Structure 1
Amino acid sequence: MNKTIKVAVALTAAGVLALTGCSSDSGSGGDAETIHLSAFSVMEAANEPVFDDFEDTDAGDGVSFEPSYGASGDQSRAVVAGSPADVVHYSLETDVTRLVDEGLVADDWKDNATKGIATSSVVVFVVRAGNPDGIETWDDLIKPGVEIITPNPGSSGSARWNILAGWAHATGGTDDEAAGKAYLTKLLNNTIALPASGREATTAFTDGSGDVLLSYENEAILAKQSGADIDYVVPPDTLLIENPAAVTKDAGTAAKAFLEFMTSTEAQEDYAQSGFRPVVDGVDVGEVDGANDPSDPFPTPDTLYTLDDNFGGWGEAADKFFGDGQEGKPLGIVTELQQNTGKEGEE
């Protein structure tokens, strides 16, 4: 099935549960359920066809969505502060584990076929049309005069994937901190803007700032689908991006069914049309408008680093690289480098 291409950017699916009447609206007692979704910013367009397809299922009959989008870390902190959420879909695992630590999400949220991952992508370079600066590899980014835009690691999950992809390149996926720090110092020195979210970074670039944008592959594809006069490069070595999703403990039946649906082949086809790499087998991707090669939209990089294999997972990497120095802990490597270079960005 070659689905109609719809401009979008990410969630996932696998299986639909039977739904009996219930409501997440306090005390309403009716059959309709409203699902409050808290998600990172680049998911906004991608979710629309997924919502539509879920509403066409028995489990989604009569269901409505009230989504909220923003920088991944900001969204997670907002839920801790009381923002309503039945389903959460974030850029980073740590933004879900924050909710686990607060007692809002069950600690077994990863116990499913995709280990809690709903959408996937890789870090790419978004460049001006025709790639006039000839940017093809990570080493090209640190040449004198190259102006880089990337979101701020203090607020954006996308930024953290970008930065760690550069670190993995510089170290060859090893623990060579000297090489990693030297590379990231040059990268940050070439960075001219660190907007608060991945979506704000894309807007800054498409509005004319910078020579190259570090971004998700799906975000680059969406920009091209939306008419932006840009190209993108999948570098020979890059980092696999995996975005988690979970339900909160108070979520209703429909919300739980929707989380399952996100990793179904039907929803994954929707996400693929928005530029996300499927997280389950058996997805009929078809042609993807906006990809470098629509008929082969998701090429396999020569080297694909992962958080688990090369960084010990987010449980280890978060504090090591992005710690804020609170509670007597040392500053993270990237946090300290941002301070040293004066590139602390917008939070």
Structure 2
Amino acid sequence: MRKYKLSITLAALTAVVISACAPNAVGGGGTTATSESATELSLVGFAVPKGAHDEAQRAFAQTDAGSGTTWSSSYGASGDQSRAVANGLGADLVHFSLEGDVTRLVDEGLVAEDWNSGEHAGIVSDSVAVLVVRKGNPKNVTGWEDLVRDDIQIVTPNPGSSGSARWNILGAYGSVLAAGGDEAAGEEYLRVFFTNIAALPGSGRDATTAFTSGTGDVLISYENEAILARQNGEDFDYIVPEVTLLIENPAAVTVDAKPEAKAYLDFLFSPDGQQIFASKGFRPIDPSITVDNVEGANDPANPFPTPRVLQTIDETFGGWDAVNKKFFGDDGLVTQIQTEIGKQ
């Protein structure tokens, strides 16, 4: 635990490869480099941190270690992206929502077993689960307990494809435990929760798009996704619940990665890299890093308020192995509920 206490089809793979090869490679000036000395690196990641990586890659290209680097990138739902890499999509660096999406590549021999042995255990970005509501909060939503009201419709990604969905669902379930409820109460909550779901898009980014297009009353999201959407002109409110879940997103280089990819990963861990991610709404992985102003936050001068109770996967749920078996496996609680209610 880190010191921060607390067969994809050929058609689908082809689609991902096309995305990976799309013309979004960036260098020092934000354009594709053509110099023979340029080093093109490939990043495969979950959808949410694209804006942060775009800026970080430009900044990295201005350093000695990153001089001449350009990027081709593929972004999508975390589980889908991990499976694509396992099935042949090339990557120098992966950045996923869930630890299991990296360990899948460890099992395939594509990422080293010691990928998480460093100071931050491979975690590059932090966030918390928040509740996004319509401007002015017309349904008067204040916390997780309101999501099981009969007048609330929820938008959250599908846990079958999206890592952010799993964080969201665990945040909701954990709120029941924090209020003194037992596992039976948590199960009852999740049944009503899934009954109230209006849409289960494929990724966190798709969920934001569905909500901003008019679906649902509440979007469960990463805090950083809510902040970035507001930076990009979306006009909604978001609530950091008093009880919420710390979201920890891992990144790793692949075993055949170019050396510059490891240098870029080191840059992301650095204060400069973390400041860039903070500017896009991510909480710094090192709490000693001071963030003065974040556009789009509820309070730009104090963008990352401390929840009264901040739960973690390890301390609250016993780690991802236990979580996946209990909630998201073939016989897991969430899998069963989704099948019974018909929300899949």
Q: TM-score, normalised by structure 1?
A: 0.87
In structure 2, the residue matched to 1:285 is 291
In structure 1, the residue matched to 2:24 is none
- How far has the Cα of 1:45 moved from its partner? 1.4
- How far has the Cα of 1:176 moved from its partner? 2.8
- CA–CA distance in 2 between the matches of 1:316 and 1:153? 16
In structure 2, the residue matched to 1:111 is 117
In structure 2, the residue matched to 1:169 is 175
Residues 247-262 of structure 1: pairs in structure 2 closer than 5 A:
247-262=253-268
Q: CA RMSD in A?
A: 1.3
In structure 1, the residue matched to 2:337 is 337
Structure 2 residue aligned with 1:100, among 81, 99, 106?
106
Does the alignment pair 1:276 with 2:282? Answer: yes
- CA–CA distance in 1 between the matches of 2:94 and 2:125? 12
- CA–CA distance in 2 between the matches of 1:163 and 1:66? 32
State the one-letter code of the partner of 1:332: G
Does the alignment pair 1:266 with 2:272? Answer: yes
Structure 1 residue aligned with 2:96, among 76, 90, 93?
90
- How far has the Cα of 1:31 moved from its partner? 4.2
Could you list the structure 1 runs, at least 4 aligned residues long, displaced by more than 6 angstroms after superposition. none
- How far has the Cα of 1:283 moved from its partner? 2.5
- CA–CA distance in 2 between the matches of 1:89 and 1:199? 15
Q: Deviations over 1:271-317 (max 9, x none)?
A: 10100000024423121110000000000000000000011111221
Equivalent pair of 2:129/2:167 in contact (CA under 8 Å)? yes
Structure 1 residue aligned with 2:44, among 30, 38, 44?
38
In structure 1, the residue matched to 2:150 is 144
Q: Secondary structure at the match of 2:151?
A: coil
- How far has the Cα of 1:43 moved from its partner? 1.3
Comparing 50-59 with 169-178, greater Cα deviation is found at 169-178
- CA–CA distance in 2 between the matches of 1:57 and 1:316? 41
Does the alignment pair 1:125 with 2:120? Answer: no
The 1:57–1:166 alpha-carbon spacing in structure 2 relative to 1, beyond 3 Å, is same
Q: Deviations over 1:178-207 (max 9, x none)?
A: 111101111111101000000000000001
- CA–CA distance in 1 between the matches of 2:74 and 2:152? 35
Structure 1 residue aligned with 2:160, among 154, 158, 162?
154
Structure 1 residue aligned with 2:238, among 227, 232, 252?
232
Aligned length: 309
Q: Deviations over 1:147-196 (max 9, x none)?
A: 10000000000000000011111122889321111011111111010000
- How far has the Cα of 1:318 moved from its partner? 1.4
Equivalent pair of 2:65/2:263 in contact (CA under 8 Å)? yes
In structure 2, the residue matched to 1:204 is 210
Comparing 84-93 with 166-175, greater Cα deviation is found at 166-175
Residues 35-74 of structure 1: pairs in structure 2 closer than 5 A:
35-74=41-80
In structure 1, the residue matched to 2:300 is 294
Q: Secondary structure at the match of 1:262?
A: helix
State the one-letter code of the partner of 2:263: A
The 1:300–1:281 alpha-carbon spacing in structure 2 relative to 1, beyond 3 Å, is closer
- CA–CA distance in 2 between the matches of 1:138 and 1:320? 21
- CA–CA distance in 2 between the matches of 1:336 and 1:156? 17
Equivalent pair of 1:168/1:174 in contact (CA under 8 Å)? no
Does the alignment pair 1:215 with 2:226? Answer: no
State the one-letter code of the partner of 1:172: A
- CA–CA distance in 1 between the matches of 2:44 and 2:292? 29
- CA–CA distance in 1 between the matches of 2:40 and 2:325? 36
Q: Percent identity?
A: 55
Q: Secondary structure at the match of 1:163?
A: helix
- CA–CA distance in 2 between the matches of 1:235 and 1:47? 27
Q: Deviations over 1:235-277 (max 9, x none)?
A: 1100000000001000111011111111110010011010000
- How far has the Cα of 1:32 moved from its partner? 2.9
Structure 1 residue aligned with 2:200, among 170, 191, 194?
194
- CA–CA distance in 2 between the matches of 1:188 and 1:59? 48
The 1:39–1:108 alpha-carbon spacing in structure 2 relative to 1, beyond 3 Å, is same
Equivalent pair of 2:178/2:243 in contact (CA under 8 Å)? no
Equivalent pair of 1:265/1:282 in contact (CA under 8 Å)? no
State the one-letter code of the partner of 1:36: S
Equivalent pair of 1:173/1:305 in contact (CA under 8 Å)? no
Q: Which structure would you say has the larger RCO, counting Cα contacts within 8 Å and 6 or more residues apart?
A: 1
- CA–CA distance in 2 between the matches of 1:248 and 1:174? 43
Gaps of 5+ in 1: 1-29, 326-330
